[in-house]
């Protein structure tokens, strides 16, 4: 969800550069930078602002590691690279180890993770 200020700034000064597989939109400042300066770059997230949805090639462009955007010159993708996935922490897809209280069932034969203190025992 973008703020009113970000929408206004993007409308007045933003130049749309491209979109990624997660439908995030990337912009850079239309205005020319001061001598020795750089153009400002930003992302408008589709849905919640989750930085883990920014693919590596767009991350490099946002942080001025490359001059050309991935929509202009897509970098070669290594054969070993897996598809980008957002960080699942805090969602139903998050990893839950055996015996986790939120995971539900305690595995058979596995001792409890701790033994509670009982006074006068």
Residue-level pLDDT at 81: 87
User: Is the residue at 58 inside a domain?
Assistant: yes
Count of structural domains within the chain: 1
Q: Note the pLDDT of residue 105.
A: 58
Flag the least confident range among 21-30, 37-46, 59-68, 69-78: 69-78
Greater model confidence, 37 or 101: 37
The residue to which tokens 């960080």 are assigned: 87
For residue 111, tell me if it sits in a domain.
no
**Under a CB-based contact definition with an 8 Å cutoff, are residues 56 and 47 in contact?**
no
pLDDT value at residue 44? 96
Report if residue 113 sits inside a domain. no
More confident residue, 105 or 30: 30
* Containing structural domain, residue 99: 1-104
Supply the pLDDT for residue 111.
Answer: 63
Residue 92: inside a domain, yes or no? Answer: yes
Assigned domain for 18 exists: yes
Q: Among positive and negative, which fits the CA dihedral 32, 37, 38, 44? A: negative
Residue 11 lies in a domain: yes
pLDDT tens profile 100-120: 766 655 566 666 667 778 898
Residues in the chain: 121
- Establish if 115 belongs to a structural domain: no
């Amino acid at each position: 969800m973008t703020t009113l200020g970000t929408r206004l700034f993007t409308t007045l000064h933003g130049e749309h550069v491209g979109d990624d597989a997660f439908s995030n939109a990337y912009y850079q400042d239309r205005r020319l930078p001061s001598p020795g300066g750089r153009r400002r770059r930003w992302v408008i997230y589709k849905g919640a602002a989750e930085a883990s949805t920014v693919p590596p090639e767009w991350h490099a462009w946002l942080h001025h590691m490359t001059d050309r955007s991935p929509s202009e010159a897509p970098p070669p993708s290594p054969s070993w690279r897996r598809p980008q996935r957002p960080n699942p922490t805090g969602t139903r897809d998050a990893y839950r180890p055996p015996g986790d209280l939120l995971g539900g069932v305690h595995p058979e034969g596995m001792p409890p993770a701790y033994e509670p203190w009982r006074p006068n025992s």
